[in-house]
Amino acid sequence: QKEVEQDPGPLSVPEGAIVSLNCTYSNSAFQYFMWYRQYSRKGPELLMYTYSSGNKEDGRFTAQVDKSSKYISLFIRDSQPSDSATYLCAMSDMTTDSWGKFQFGAGTQVVVTP
Amino acid sequence: SQTIHQWPATLVQPVGSPLSLECTVEGTSNPNLYWYRQAAGRGLQLLFYSVGIGQISSEVPQNLSASRPQDRQFILSSKKLLLSDSGFYLCAWRAGGRAETQYFGPGTRLLVL
């Protein structure tokens, strides 16, 4: 079983819809959770970072962490064609032995159609 | 501000040839540095990480090696490439201490024929 599970998609939505992405994980020690956006043939760029449980909002993006269920989500409101990309979740427990070693999901491909 | 560079952007190499990919970071000192490989349709596989000059940790056994000759330079090498080495290679950096996030470079696309 992978430590981080993420549906690869593709997830196709019409412009203006809400995009809902999620990852599940098995390591209860994970405390730091990130979402990256990766356009085709580009390096991933950091979108959202969350520590422990709760919600975080940044413009059209909302990240949620539910540690009790080992489940994280990313919501994109008012989706635009420019949001078409692969979204990767990442997480870390930041213990002494693992500082900076993140576990990544496989990524979900999102297609927003005009 | 910090920036991270990788070169070359694209590389086509024959099986059995050597490899050298370079990554440099600007605007920070003593970063943690990482090499990842991303195969088509798959997630990121951590290959090497470094917490300082000359300090390299390997995550997976393979025919690749890494070196860190300078504080902000990270090099990925191979003496003889295999077909299975094809992929998208990403370098990333993280500020030292307990900084929680990694930032990625633009990547190098390697095709081994």
State the pairing for strand pair A11-14/A108-113. parallel
The count of domains in chain A is: 1
Nearest to A8 among B41, B46, B102 (CB): B41
Neighbours of A29 (CB within 10 A): 11
pLDDT at A102: 86
Say yes or no: A102 contacts chain B, CB-CB below 8 A: yes
B104 and A88 within 8 Å at the Cβ level: the answer is no
pLDDT at A68: 92
List the CATH number of the domain containing A80. 2.60.40.10
Domains defined for chain B, CATH in brackets:
3-112 (2.60.40.10)
CA distance A10 to B14: 33
CA atoms within 13 A on the CB side of B48: 23
Name residues of chain B where pLDDT drops below 70.
41, 61, 96-100
Q: What is the pLDDT of residues A31-90, one digit of tens each?
A: 889 999 999 999 999 999 888 888 999 999 999 999 999 999 999 999 999 999 999 999
Range of the structural domain that residue A69 is part of: 4-113
- Which of these, B73, B56, B59, lies nearest to B5 by C-alpha position? B73
